[in-house]
Each structure stands twice: as C-alpha cells, then as structure tokens.
Amino acid sequence: MRFYERQGLLPKPPRSASGYRLFPADAARRLKFIKRAQELGFSLSEIRELLALRMSPRTTSTEIRKRTEAKIADIEAKTKSLDSMRKSLVKLVRFCGGCAPLSECPILEGLDRGDR
C-alpha cells in the first residue's frame, strides 16, 4: 500500500495517536481497482488518469471507453510484435540442428545478420 501511496494512487492515511495507519473505508475498493487495472495491462500512469477521471464530475463513460479502446489497440500491437518475434525465433531454431560447432551456430549467425 505504501508503494501506491508513493505513486499517488492512494492517499496517505491519517495516523492514530499511537502511530497506526487508519485507512478510510474506500481504501480496499480503490486498491482492488488498482490491482485489477494492472492485471488488464494498464500502467500506473494510466491508472492514475482513470482514478482522476473517476473522481471528476465532468467525466463521461465515453472518455473511459476511449482509454480502454486505446489499451486494447496497445495490447494488439504488442501481441503482433510478440508473434513476429516468436516466428523469427522458430525460424532460427529450425535451421539449427544443435550439433554444429559454436563458430558455425546458425542461430548466432542469424542474429548477426538480422534474419527475420
């Protein structure tokens, strides 16, 4: 919780006279929101924006939808990039029988050449 406080995602709770932290009732709900948003790929910066939008009376669900659609596009781009990397690595592995001397390793040679 202290990490999220330092990141500005959770307000610092007041302390009791004995120094114990007194969390407001909505702290658990906010923490669950943060953790779920992280699980769905939102960065801490994006979560901070979502929390700010959530607190603003002028925010519409359209704004939240646009941010979510942007996250979907970001995930799709990353998925495409990861798939391309996987295909390149599979291709390099296919050319390697695993028995050539290291100086003739087709994987290392492919990396040197920038094979895709």
CATH number at residue 34: 1.10.1660.10
**What is the spatial distance between Cα 99 and Cα 46, in angstroms, rounded to a whole number?**
48
- Asked whether residue 19 is domain-assigned, the answer is yes
pTM, two decimals, is 0.74
How many separate domains does the chain show? 1
- Evaluate whether residue 25 is within a structural domain: yes
Of residues 116 and 18, which shows the higher confidence score?
Answer: 18
Q: How far is CA 109 from CA 2, 82, 86, 113, 116, in A?
A: 48, 21, 17, 6, 12
Which tokens in the block code for residue 100? Answer: 């050539």
In a domain, 106, yes or no: no
Going by pLDDT thresholds of 50, 70 and 90, the confidence category of residue 116 is: low
CA 70-74-78 angle, to 5 degrees, is 170
Q: Which domain holds residue 32?
A: 1-59
- The answer to whether position 115 is within a domain reads no
pLDDT class of 103 with cuts at 50, 70, 90: confident
Please name which of 81, 70, 16, 6 lies closest in space to residue 42, comparing C-alpha atoms. 70
Give the pLDDT band of residue 115 (cuts 50, 70, 90): low
